[in-house]
Protein backbone atom coordinates (compact mmCIF):
# COMPACT_ATOMS: atom_id res chain seq x y z
CA UNK A 1 0.00 0.00 0.00
CA UNK A 2 1.40 3.38 -0.94
CA UNK A 3 1.28 6.53 1.11
CA UNK A 4 -1.36 8.25 -1.05
CA UNK A 5 -4.01 5.48 -0.67
CA UNK A 6 -3.27 5.23 3.08
CA UNK A 7 -3.94 8.97 3.49
CA UNK A 8 -7.17 8.68 1.48
CA UNK A 9 -8.44 5.86 3.67
CA UNK A 10 -7.50 7.73 6.84
CA UNK A 11 -9.36 10.84 5.60
CA UNK A 12 -12.46 8.77 4.77
CA UNK A 13 -12.36 7.09 8.19
CA UNK A 14 -12.02 10.45 9.96
CA UNK A 15 -14.93 11.87 7.97
CA UNK A 16 -17.11 8.87 8.82
CA UNK A 17 -16.29 9.17 12.52
CA UNK A 18 -17.14 12.89 12.42
CA UNK A 19 -20.66 12.08 11.14
CA UNK A 20 -21.25 9.20 13.55
CA UNK A 21 -22.64 11.25 16.50
CA UNK A 22 -25.41 12.62 14.27
CA UNK A 23 -26.66 9.11 13.49
CA UNK A 24 -29.41 7.85 15.77
CA UNK A 25 -29.62 4.07 16.05
CA UNK A 26 -32.27 4.13 18.80
CA UNK A 27 -35.70 2.47 18.66
CA UNK A 28 -37.62 5.75 18.32
CA UNK A 29 -40.00 6.21 15.44
CA UNK A 30 -39.35 8.73 12.70
CA UNK A 31 -41.77 11.64 12.98
CA UNK A 32 -44.58 11.76 10.44
CA UNK A 33 -44.37 14.86 8.23
CA UNK A 34 -47.52 16.92 8.82
CA UNK A 35 -48.75 20.22 7.40
CA UNK A 36 -51.05 21.44 10.20
CA UNK A 37 -50.35 19.42 13.35
CA UNK A 38 -47.20 20.08 15.39
CA UNK A 39 -46.49 16.83 17.26
CA UNK A 40 -43.05 15.56 18.26
CA UNK A 41 -42.09 11.88 18.27
CA UNK A 42 -42.93 11.45 21.98
CA UNK A 43 -46.53 12.53 21.34
CA UNK A 44 -46.70 10.31 18.27
CA UNK A 45 -45.52 7.39 20.43
CA UNK A 46 -48.27 8.20 22.94
CA UNK A 47 -50.84 8.24 20.12
CA UNK A 48 -49.54 4.83 18.98
CA UNK A 49 -50.08 3.52 22.54
CA UNK A 50 -53.67 4.83 22.60
CA UNK A 51 -54.37 3.17 19.24
CA UNK A 52 -52.79 -0.08 20.50
CA UNK A 53 -55.10 0.05 23.53
CA UNK A 54 -58.13 0.36 21.22
CA UNK A 55 -57.05 -2.52 18.92
CA UNK A 56 -54.44 -4.71 20.63
CA UNK A 57 -52.69 -7.67 19.03
CA UNK A 58 -54.29 -11.03 19.90
CA UNK A 59 -53.22 -14.64 19.96
CA UNK A 60 -55.69 -17.15 18.51
CA UNK A 61 -56.19 -20.83 19.39
CA UNK A 62 -53.48 -22.03 16.99
CA UNK A 63 -50.89 -19.73 18.59
CA UNK A 64 -50.74 -17.25 15.70
CA UNK A 65 -50.69 -13.58 16.65
CA UNK A 66 -53.05 -11.29 14.76
CA UNK A 67 -51.52 -7.82 14.50
CA UNK A 68 -53.06 -4.87 16.29
CA UNK A 69 -52.85 -1.12 15.75
CA UNK A 70 -49.24 -0.90 16.96
CA UNK A 71 -47.93 -3.56 14.58
CA UNK A 72 -49.77 -1.94 11.66
CA UNK A 73 -48.51 1.56 12.55
CA UNK A 74 -52.09 2.86 12.48
CA UNK A 75 -50.99 5.99 14.32
CA UNK A 76 -49.58 7.18 10.98
CA UNK A 77 -52.98 6.73 9.33
CA UNK A 78 -54.65 8.63 12.19
CA UNK A 79 -52.21 11.54 11.93
CA UNK A 80 -52.60 11.85 8.16
CA UNK A 81 -56.41 11.70 8.36
CA UNK A 82 -56.54 14.34 11.13
CA UNK A 83 -54.02 16.55 9.34
CA UNK A 84 -55.75 16.33 5.94
CA UNK A 85 -59.45 15.81 6.63
CA UNK A 86 -60.51 17.61 9.82
CA UNK A 87 -61.27 21.31 10.31
CA UNK A 88 -58.75 23.39 12.25
CA UNK A 89 -60.81 23.47 15.48
CA UNK A 90 -60.93 19.66 15.58
CA UNK A 91 -57.20 19.49 14.83
CA UNK A 92 -56.55 21.87 17.74
CA UNK A 93 -58.75 19.83 20.10
CA UNK A 94 -57.03 16.62 18.93
CA UNK A 95 -53.50 17.92 19.57
CA UNK A 96 -54.49 19.57 22.88
CA UNK A 97 -56.19 16.37 24.07
CA UNK A 98 -53.13 14.30 23.17
CA UNK A 99 -50.79 16.72 24.95
CA UNK A 100 -52.94 16.83 28.11
CA UNK A 101 -53.78 13.12 28.33
CA UNK A 102 -50.95 11.98 30.61
CA UNK A 103 -51.08 15.10 32.84
CA UNK A 104 -54.85 14.81 33.28
CA UNK A 105 -54.82 11.10 34.13
CA UNK A 106 -51.98 11.59 36.59
CA UNK A 107 -53.71 14.53 38.32
CA UNK A 108 -57.33 13.34 38.36
CA UNK A 109 -57.27 9.55 37.97
CA UNK A 110 -54.08 9.05 40.02
CA UNK A 111 -52.69 6.81 37.25
CA UNK A 112 -50.67 8.20 34.37
CA UNK A 113 -51.39 6.84 30.92
CA UNK A 114 -49.97 4.51 29.68
CA UNK A 115 -49.61 1.68 32.18
CA UNK A 116 -47.81 -1.62 31.53
CA UNK A 117 -50.94 -3.77 31.44
CA UNK A 118 -53.43 -3.62 28.56
CA UNK A 119 -56.41 -4.01 30.90
CA UNK A 120 -55.32 -0.99 32.97
CA UNK A 121 -54.96 1.15 29.84
CA UNK A 122 -58.42 0.07 28.65
CA UNK A 123 -59.89 0.95 32.06
CA UNK A 124 -58.27 4.42 31.98
CA UNK A 125 -59.57 5.26 28.50
CA UNK A 126 -63.05 3.94 29.35
CA UNK A 127 -63.10 6.01 32.53
CA UNK A 128 -62.05 9.14 30.61
CA UNK A 129 -64.86 8.71 28.09
CA UNK A 130 -67.45 8.13 30.81
CA UNK A 131 -66.63 11.22 32.93
CA UNK A 132 -69.55 13.62 32.62
CA UNK A 133 -68.54 16.27 35.15
CA UNK A 134 -65.02 17.66 35.15
CA UNK A 135 -63.06 17.63 38.43
CA UNK A 136 -62.44 20.81 40.38
CA UNK A 137 -59.81 23.19 39.05
CA UNK A 138 -56.41 23.31 40.71
CA UNK A 139 -54.68 26.58 41.54
CA UNK A 140 -52.27 27.94 38.98
CA UNK A 141 -53.55 25.70 36.15
CA UNK A 142 -53.44 27.37 32.74
CA UNK A 143 -56.33 25.30 31.36
CA UNK A 144 -59.41 24.36 33.37
CA UNK A 145 -60.13 20.63 33.91
CA UNK A 146 -63.42 21.07 32.01
CA UNK A 147 -61.58 22.29 28.90
CA UNK A 148 -58.94 19.58 29.31
CA UNK A 149 -61.58 16.87 29.59
CA UNK A 150 -63.48 18.17 26.55
CA UNK A 151 -60.30 18.15 24.43
CA UNK A 152 -59.29 14.70 25.70
CA UNK A 153 -62.71 13.22 24.95
CA UNK A 154 -62.65 14.81 21.47
CA UNK A 155 -59.17 13.38 20.93
CA UNK A 156 -60.22 9.90 22.07
CA UNK A 157 -63.34 9.94 19.87
CA UNK A 158 -61.35 10.93 16.78
CA UNK A 159 -58.60 8.42 17.56
CA UNK A 160 -61.08 5.58 18.05
CA UNK A 161 -62.89 6.39 14.79
CA UNK A 162 -59.73 6.53 12.68
CA UNK A 163 -58.12 3.53 14.40
CA UNK A 164 -61.11 1.36 13.50
CA UNK A 165 -61.29 2.83 9.99
CA UNK A 166 -57.57 2.23 9.41
CA UNK A 167 -57.85 -1.35 10.67
CA UNK A 168 -60.89 -2.07 8.47
CA UNK A 169 -59.12 -0.90 5.30
CA UNK A 170 -55.76 -2.52 6.12
CA UNK A 171 -54.32 -5.24 3.90
CA UNK A 172 -54.38 -7.70 6.83
CA UNK A 173 -58.10 -7.21 7.48
CA UNK A 174 -59.09 -7.29 3.80
CA UNK A 175 -57.10 -10.45 3.05
CA UNK A 176 -57.21 -12.43 6.31
CA UNK A 177 -60.30 -11.37 8.25
CA UNK A 178 -62.66 -10.38 5.46
CA UNK A 179 -61.30 -11.77 2.18
CA UNK A 180 -62.75 -10.37 -1.01
CA UNK A 181 -65.35 -12.46 -2.83
CA UNK A 182 -66.55 -11.63 -6.29
CA UNK A 183 -70.20 -10.52 -6.19
CA UNK A 184 -72.64 -12.33 -6.14
CA UNK A 185 -70.40 -14.99 -4.61
CA UNK A 186 -70.36 -18.77 -5.03
CA UNK A 187 -73.59 -20.61 -5.85
CA UNK A 188 -75.04 -22.63 -2.98
CA UNK A 189 -77.97 -24.85 -3.97
CA UNK A 190 -79.24 -25.77 -0.52
CA UNK A 191 -78.90 -23.33 2.39
CA UNK A 192 -80.61 -23.74 5.75
CA UNK A 193 -82.38 -20.62 7.05
CA UNK A 194 -82.69 -21.99 10.56
CA UNK A 195 -81.40 -19.47 13.08
CA UNK A 196 -81.15 -16.75 10.41
CA UNK A 197 -81.50 -13.24 11.86
CA UNK A 198 -82.98 -10.61 9.58
CA UNK A 199 -82.18 -7.01 10.48
**So what's the pLDDT on residue 66?**
87
First CA to last CA across the chain, in angstroms? 83
Report d(CA 145, CA 4) in Å as an integer.
Answer: 69
Contact 166, 72 (CB under 8 A): yes
Q: For the segment 120-169, what is each residue's pLDDT rounded down to a tens digit? A: 999 999 988 988 887 776 555 577 888 888 999 999 999 999 999 999 99
- Whole-prediction pTM: 0.72
Report d(CA 74, CA 51) in Å as an integer.
Answer: 7
**So what's the pLDDT on residue 20?**
57
Report d(CA 160, CA 123) in Å as an integer.
Answer: 15
Kindly list the domain boundaries of the chain, sorted by start residue: 31-177
Contact 97, 155 (CB under 8 A): yes
Amino acid sequence: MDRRSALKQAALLAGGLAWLPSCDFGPQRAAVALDNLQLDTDLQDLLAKVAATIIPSEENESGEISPGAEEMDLYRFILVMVDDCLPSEDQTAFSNGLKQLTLFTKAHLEKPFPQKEQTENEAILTQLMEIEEAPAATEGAEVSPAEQLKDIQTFLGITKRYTIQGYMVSEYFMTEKFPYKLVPGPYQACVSTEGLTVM
